[in-house]
C-alpha cells in the first residue's frame, strides 16, 4: 500500500493584497480571511488526512523563514525553498523527487497554500476519495470546483463520461482543460453544466508523474536527477537545486502535463471554495456593518456603503461619505482604491518599484 503525501505550493510575489502582503509576506502568510495565516489553515485541513511527517511545503528563499514560523510542526527537511521562481512544473518535479526517495510508489496531492475552504470535513472526504482514485489506477486526479458563476479569471475543466466511484464520490474522465475564457464563453460553460473550475488541486502517484514528465516535458524529467542523487546519499540539496533551476524555463504544470495528458480524471468537489484573488473578494468572507462595510482593526465608515477598510497598528482609519472603496493602512504604506480597480494593484506596484528606494515598500 503506497503512502499518502501532500505538497503545498507556497510561493507568490505578494502583489494582490498589497500593502498588507509583500514579497516576503504574501497572502498565504497572512490572515486575509480568518484568524490564522492562510497556510496554517491549509495545514489544519490536510493533517487529518496526511500525517505531518508526509506534508511538504515548497516556497521561495525570500519566504522560507516566515514559512518555517507558520509550520512549526513539520519536519525541518519538509520545507524546501526554491532558489528561483520557475512556476509550478519544476515544483511538481521537485516534489516527485522528494517523495520518490521516501516511497517510490507514493501518492501525493499538490495543493495551493492560500484558498478559502470553510467546510474542512467535506474537503477531507473529497481528498481521501482523490487519493483512493489515484491509488486505484495510473491516472491524474484533479479536484474540480462547481462553476457557480461565469468567472473569467479561472481556468475550466470539461468533464466527460463517468469513470469510477470512490467513497460515494463519482469521478469522471476529463475531456479537455480550458484557459481563462471570455465572459460569453464562460456563460456557455456554466449553462452547460459540463465544466468545473480548475482550482490547481491534483493527486497522482510518483510513477504517474514521472511518466507524464518523460512523455510531455522530458527536459524536466531528467533535470532533477542531481537532486535525487543528493537525496539518496542524504546530502543537502541546496547546491543541486541552484544548478537545476538555473537551467529551467518558467512552465506551469497545467501546460506541461495536464493539458496534454490523456489519463486525467476529475473529482467534483462537494465543498465551497474561493481562491480570494483580490481585495474585493475578501468582502464576502468578513462580517459587515449595517452599510455592508467590511472592517478590521481601528476602522469605521460614516455614511458609506460597501467599503473594505483594514487598519493596522492602532491607527484609526475613517471613511466619510464614500462607497465601494478599498482602504488598507499598514505601518509604512496606505492604499486607497475603488473596489472595481482591485485587479490593477500590480500596475501601481510597478510604479512604486520604479521609485528611488521604492523596493522597500514591495
d(CA 32, CA 108): 27
pLDDT per residue, tens digit, the chain (362 aa), is 899 999 999 988 889 999 999 999 999 999 999 999 999 999 999 999 999 999 999 999 999 999 999 999 999 999 999 998 899 999 999 999 999 999 999 999 999 999 999 999 999 999 999 999 999 999 999 999 999 999 999 999 999 999 999 999 999 999 999 999 999 999 999 999 999 999 999 999 999 999 999 999 999 999 999 999 999 999 999 999 999 999 999 999 999 999 999 999 999 999 999 999 999 999 989 889 999 999 999 999 999 999 999 999 999 999 999 999 999 999 999 999 999 999 899 999 999 999 988 899 99
pTM, two decimal places: 0.94
CA distance 182 to 150: 9
Please indicate, yes or no, whether residues 225 and 263 belong to a single structural domain of this protein.
yes
How many separate domains does the chain show? 2
Residues 171 and 54 in one domain: yes
Maximum CA extent, the chain: 66
Establish if 274 belongs to a structural domain: no
117 and 56, same structural domain? yes
Grid cell of 343 as nine digits: 485587479
Residue 338, CA atoms < 13 Å, CB-side half-sphere? 2
- Helices 225-232 and 88-102, packing angle to 10 deg: 30
Range of the domain at 291: 279-361
Does residue 333 sit within a domain? yes
CA distance 314 to 299: 9
The CATH number linked to 153 is: 3.90.550.10
- Which of 179, 164, 182, 185 is closest to 258 using CA atoms? 179
Q: How far apart are CA 295 and CA 275, in angstroms?
A: 20
Give the domain-ending residue among 246, 268, 290.
268
**29 and 170 assigned to the same domain:** yes
Q: Are residues 321 and 262 in the same domain?
A: no
Among the candidates 268, 303, 321, a domain finishes at 268
Q: Which of 237, 268, 299 corresponds to the end of one domain? A: 268
The reply to whether 189 and 337 lie within a common domain is no
Amino acid at each position: 500500500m503506497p503512502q499518502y503525501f501532500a505538497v503545498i505550493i507556497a510561493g507568490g510575489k505578494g502583489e494582490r493584497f498589497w500593502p498588507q502582503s509583500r514579497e516576503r509576506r504574501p497572502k498565504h502568510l497572512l490572515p486575509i480571511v480568518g484568524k490564522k495565516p492562510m497556510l496554517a489553515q491549509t495545514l489544519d485541513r490536510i493533517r487529518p488526512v496526511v500525517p505531518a511527517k508526509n506534508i511538504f511545503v515548497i516556497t521561495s528563499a525570500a519566504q522560507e523563514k516566515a514559512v518555517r514560523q507558520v509550520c512549526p510542526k513539520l519536519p525541518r527537511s519538509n520545507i524546501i525553498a526554491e532558489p528561483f521562481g520557475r512556476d509550478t512544473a519544476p515544483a511538481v518535479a521537485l516534489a516527485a523527487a522528494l517523495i520518490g526517495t521516501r516511497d517510490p510508489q507514493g501518492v501525493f496531492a499538490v495543493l495551493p497554500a492560500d484558498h478559502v475552504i470553510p467546510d474542512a470535513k467535506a474537503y477531507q472526504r473529497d481528498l481521501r476519495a482523490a487519493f483512493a482514485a489515484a491509488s486505484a489506477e495510473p491516472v491524474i486526479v484533479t479536484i474540480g470546483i462547481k462553476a457557480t458563476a461565469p468567472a473569467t479569471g479561472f481556468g475550466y475543466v470539461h468533464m466527460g463520461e463517468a469513470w469510477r466511484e470512490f467513497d460515494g464520490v463519482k469521478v469522471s474522465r476529463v475531456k479537455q482543460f480550458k484557459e481563462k475564457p471570455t465572459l460569453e464563453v464562460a456563460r456557455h460553460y456554466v449553462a452547460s453544466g459540463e465544466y468545473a473550475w480548475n482550482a490547481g488541486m491534483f493527486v497522482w502517484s510518483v510513477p504517474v508523474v514521472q511518466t507524464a514528465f518523460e512523455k510531455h516535458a522530458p527536459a524536466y524529467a531528467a533535470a532533477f536527477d542531481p537532486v535525487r542523487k543528493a537525496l539518496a546519499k542524504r546530502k543537502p540539496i541546496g547546491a543541486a537545486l541552484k544548478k537545476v533551476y538555473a537551467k529551467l524555463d518558467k512552465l506551469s504544470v497545467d501546460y506541461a502535463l495536464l493539458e496534454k495528458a490523456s489519463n486525467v480524471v476529475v473529482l467534483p468537489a462537494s465543498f465551497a471554495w474561493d481562491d480570494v484573488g483580490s481585495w474585493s473578494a475578501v468582502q464576502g468572507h468578513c462580517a459587515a456593518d449595517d452599510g455592508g462595510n467590511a472592517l478590521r482593526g481601528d476602522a469605521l465608515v460614516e455614511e458609506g456603503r460597501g467599503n473594505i477598510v483594514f487598519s493596522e497598528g492602532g491607527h484609526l482609519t475613517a471613511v466619510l461619505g464614500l462607497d465601494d472603496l478599498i482602504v488598507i493602512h499598514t505601518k509604512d504604506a496606505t492604499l486607497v482604491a475603488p473596489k472595481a480597480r482591485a485587479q490593477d494593484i500590480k500596475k501601481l506596484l510597478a510604479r512604486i518599484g520604479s521609485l528611488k528606494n521604492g523596493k522597500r515598500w514591495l
